[in-house]
Chain A
């Protein structure tokens, strides 16, 4: 019996079962978060313990287990944005909408996600709302820009 041959055979299947992260990513994209019952489903279908699905779902910052509001605000807290006043934007959102990182406002209007560098540092500080970029923001401009997202 050749050990490496057997290992190669097993490895083929290991690679298949490694798709947990991409699977969760696709579910997340579809629903905006990971609903609890989907985690059960995934565990069952992949024949892995729920605890393993849960550990992956909570380890990675890209996943949220809570439903998302009507609009997603991505606030960049990368270094360039930090230096140019992003923390003040965060304060403004906290004051005005009671938003914290990863949380949804009580009226379910906004969900806030603090991200690290959107790769558009020339536009710092940057906020992206539902895919639209707002550059060179200050608290006042940001709150005005958010008016059109009901």
Chain B
């Protein structure tokens, strides 16, 4: 780059963008989703076959491209056709030839791969007509699904790094912080702390050396928003971090990525190398004299390391124990230097705000929560996947309108939000707007964006026990209330699930929960009782059923259910008898079989294998 460019980074970037656009204009893209979900369903093989086949289609300007997660993981592998707008799902490598041939045949579509709307039973042709996408507002995810995450030119052509050029080309750090502050952006990692205020304090803190960190530890077991951004659009995170570093005056950054995310680390490293080559990262960025480097660190697989002070300890090569926060990390964080730590999604919002302007951005969302939020909607729901919606959308809209409602037409019981630190919200509050404040008020929290759909076959005591078992293992053990509290709560919940609970247990859980909320050292401990307290608040009758009647109404708790075979349905095929590991099933061929309850260990193998649906699982009470 020539020295005159230093005066105008924006012009330089525009030049690159125009060149790319010219060379790629008119090319028809077949976009194959290569997020982890689709890869597990064989999308990489499909991609390879498509590419090979496409080579033989000379003349037609086709580019087969791999993209990040397109959201509808339920129907992977997902393929979209850029020019025609067709959306294909459940695609396999055997479909590759047909997909390409139809492209040649004047925009014909492959009918067998179209999405079937399960309410109407009719196929839907275009992406934007699929209910799953219709009500979403894809802002952070807008390029995940259209750009190749391993190709920086794709990102630049789509307007990437424009915000960085705008910032370095004429905005003062003060102005950047002002912009982020007035956009109303709040941290997406769980706490919802105003990002602008955090940056302000860090900029004002004294110290030569400052750091920015991206928290990509994503510990919530059942959520994968951050992973999808890392895999689908790593440059947006880097761009956000560079802007943040400029604003607070840092020259070194870290991305702390969860160990289970190898693809994310791989793509991030490619993105960093490419950004470096283009002079967008490293020494003298865009010839403006600003220098910023980033390193990636893989986490060690400890949930508590998502907590800010524990994460910093881990980065320093120590065990990930949090410290009390009477000194804020914005003043003394990594290596005791002022540090800004933000979540992946928070960083990815930064370039968007700079590009749109704070005022426009603040028009999206609700009163206290601006912008959009990505949720990973999983559990007993028809369309499992990633959705991005404006803050303040109701639970009902997300679960029913976007995600197609509860699987197998079962009854909707509620949602669990916020991961292990969050809580359960019952179906009767389905019209609650989803934003930071209303979720907290309802006894749960936004968390990082996990939303687990629960149905009539979900046992709420079991859910509470599940999260407590998780937290018990993940408690770092430094403070007594958390270490012992989670242990006792887990033991108590377990005994209730096994039919050994008593009425006093409920009082104990409540008392202990309140003690932990006030006395634990870090937010892992103070939020640990949330799932218990929220289920006690909304679903206490289920606890009482377990305690008084030794009955699990949902039929989940192993000790409290029995299996039986309906003699009217059983055809005596013998499949279950053959499979039963306990030899607990008896009966002659072609006559109804019977389970000997004294031998049954309740593994459920018979239920899975029965081709006629003759095996049932019931709570004790209906045993007769």
Chain A residues at the B interface, C-beta cutoff of 8 Å: 4, 7-8, 11, 14-15, 17-22, 25, 55-56, 59-63, 77-80, 82-85, 87-88, 91-92, 95-96, 115-124, 126, 133, 135, 138-141
Contact of B378 with A118 in the complex, beta carbons under 8 Å: no
Most buried by B among A20, A21, A85, A138: A21
A-B contact pairs, 18 of them (CB 8 A): A4-B208, A14-B316, A18-B317, A20-B317, A22-B298, A60-B300, A60-B301, A61-B300, A79-B466, A116-B303, A117-B223, A119-B227, A119-B261, A120-B224, A121-B73, A121-B224, A126-B40, A133-B40
For B36, give its contact among A59, A119, A140 (CB under 8 Å): A119
Q: Does B376 contact A (CB under 8 A)?
A: yes
A21 and B379 in contact, given A116-B470, A117-B220, A133-B40 (Cβ under 8 angstroms): no
A95 and B603 in contact, given A61-B300, A120-B73 (Cβ under 8 angstroms): yes
A18 and B315 in contact, given A79-B222, A140-B579 (Cβ under 8 angstroms): yes
Q: Does B499 contact A (CB under 8 A)?
A: no
Contact of A19 with B317 in the complex, beta carbons under 8 Å: yes
Residue of A nearest to B252 (CB): A15
Contacts of A7 in B (CB 8 A): 336
Most buried by A among B259, B463, B581: B259
For B379, give its contact among A15, A63, A83, A91 (CB under 8 Å): A83
Contacts of B419 in A (CB 8 A): 79
Q: CA–CA, A118 to B337, complex, Å?
A: 34
Contact of A77 with B608 in the complex, beta carbons under 8 Å: no
Contact of B209 with A8 in the complex, beta carbons under 8 Å: yes
Q: Does B390 contact A (CB under 8 A)?
A: no
Contacts of B303 in A (CB 8 A): 116
Contacts of B421 in A (CB 8 A): none
Contacts of A119 in B (CB 8 A): 36-37, 224, 227-228, 260-261
Contacts of A62 in B (CB 8 A): 259, 299-301
A55 and B450 in contact, given A4-B208, A11-B209 (Cβ under 8 angstroms): no
Q: CA–CA, A133 to B314, complex, Å?
A: 30
Q: CA–CA, A79 to B419, complex, Å?
A: 8
Q: Does B285 contact A (CB under 8 A)?
A: no
Q: CA–CA, A82 to B380, complex, Å?
A: 11
Q: CA–CA, A15 to B312, complex, Å?
A: 12
Q: Does B302 contact A (CB under 8 A)?
A: yes
Contacts of A79 in B (CB 8 A): 221-222, 378-379, 416, 419, 450, 452, 466-467
CB distance from B475 to the nearest CB of A (A): 12
Q: Does B279 contact A (CB under 8 A)?
A: no
Contacts of A61 in B (CB 8 A): 300-302
Closest 5 CB pairs between A and B?
A: A60-B300, A79-B222, A62-B301, A116-B221, A122-B73
State the majority secondary structure of interface residues on A: helix
Residue of B nearest to A24 (CB): B300
Contact of A121 with B376 in the complex, beta carbons under 8 Å: yes
CB distance from A17 to the nearest CB of B (A): 6
A22 and B458 in contact, given A61-B302, A119-B260 (Cβ under 8 angstroms): no
Chain B residues at the A interface, C-beta cutoff of 8 Å: 36-37, 40-41, 73-74, 76, 207-209, 219-224, 227-228, 259-261, 297-303, 314-320, 335-337, 376, 378-380, 384-385, 416, 419, 450, 452, 454, 458, 463, 466-467, 470, 476, 558, 579, 581, 603-605, 608-609
Contact of B300 with A117 in the complex, beta carbons under 8 Å: no
Contacts of A85 in B (CB 8 A): 604
Contacts of B36 in A (CB 8 A): 118-120
CB distance from A78 to the nearest CB of B (A): 4
Number of A-B contacts (CB under 8 A): 151
Contact of B452 with A80 in the complex, beta carbons under 8 Å: yes
Q: CA–CA, A82 to B378, complex, Å?
A: 11
A122 and B603 in contact, given A79-B452, A116-B221, A117-B221 (Cβ under 8 angstroms): no
Contacts of A18 in B (CB 8 A): 315-317
For B300, give its contact among A59, A83, A87 (CB under 8 Å): A59
Contact of B608 with A139 in the complex, beta carbons under 8 Å: yes
For B378, give its contact among A11, A63, A95, A124 (CB under 8 Å): A124
Contacts of A84 in B (CB 8 A): 379-380
Residue of A nearest to B419 (CB): A79
Contact of A21 with B260 in the complex, beta carbons under 8 Å: no
Contacts of A22 in B (CB 8 A): 297-298
Contact of A77 with B207 in the complex, beta carbons under 8 Å: no
Residue of B nearest to A11 (CB): B335
Contacts of A83 in B (CB 8 A): 379-380, 452, 454, 458, 463
Q: CA–CA, A132 to B37, complex, Å?
A: 12
Q: List 15 additional A-B contacts (Cβ < 8 Å) besides A79-B452, A123-B37, A140-B579.
A: A21-B314, A56-B317, A59-B320, A60-B320, A62-B299, A79-B378, A79-B467, A80-B222, A116-B221, A119-B36, A119-B228, A120-B36, A123-B73, A126-B40, A139-B603
CB distance from B471 to the nearest CB of A (A): 11
Q: CA–CA, A138 to B608, complex, Å?
A: 7
For B207, give its contact among A4, A15, A20 (CB under 8 Å): A4
Contact of B603 with A91 in the complex, beta carbons under 8 Å: yes
For A122, give its contact among B299, B384, B466, B467 (CB under 8 Å): B384
Contacts of A20 in B (CB 8 A): 317
Q: CA–CA, A129 to B470, complex, Å?
A: 23
Contact of A122 with B74 in the complex, beta carbons under 8 Å: yes
Residue of B nearest to A124 (CB): B378
CB distance from B460 to the nearest CB of A (A): 12
CB distance from A11 to the nearest CB of B (A): 5
CB distance from A106 to the nearest CB of B (A): 18
